[in-house]
Amino acid sequence: MKIYLVRHGEVPHNALKQYNIKDEDLTERGIKQAEELREKIKNIEVDLIISSPLIRAKRTAEIINKNSKIILDDRIQERSCGDLSGQPIEVTNREEYWNYYTKIQYGTSENIQEFFKRVYTFLEELKTKEYKSVLIVAHSGVSKAFSGYFEGIQDGKFLNRGLKNCELKEYEL
């Protein structure tokens, strides 16, 4: 099965370099990014679009969708930042926050290993389906988990292994 993974378009907390604040919609720039992506992928045929239920991902999925069914899956929501919500990303050591082997817990943020397991259960279930090709619209953290699943955990450093807004990556499942 071919998997096309897309990160949603820009939202206000991305532009402000903050941990996500709430379930935000796309900025004007984020809408433009999604429209550009729609043009870039117009010749890709997919059986289904699976999106995170968060507004930014759903909106991106709606913009880039030609005529596929869109289903939502909670397991591909972004990693919960807990009480870091709305704070500048500099309040943490980002390398450590995205280190699979970290022993540091930042406030009430979701544990990275538990987060990856959540995403991996989604991928394991997807393996059991008969789709030829699926487009998944999710988040930077989810793209980091996909990287770990398909490319290995390696040194455990995931800070720079995520997709940029409306970036597309292809995998074979």
**% residues pLDDT > 70 (the chain):** 100
Mean pLDDT of all residues belonging to the chain: 96
* pLDDT for the residue 169: 98
Catalytic residue annotation: 8, 78
- For residue 21, is pLDDT > 90? no
**% residues pLDDT > 90 (the chain):** 97
- DSSP annotation of 55 reads H
- For residue 87, is pLDDT > 80? yes
- Enumerate the H helices of the chain as residue ranges: 12-15, 28-40, 55-64, 94-97, 112-127, 140-151
pTM of the model: 0.97
Distance CA 111, CA 105 (A): 7
Domains of the chain: 2-172 (3.40.50.1240)
* pLDDT for the residue 20: 87
**In which band, very low, low, confident or very high, does the pLDDT at 67 lie, cut at 50, 70 and 90?**
very high
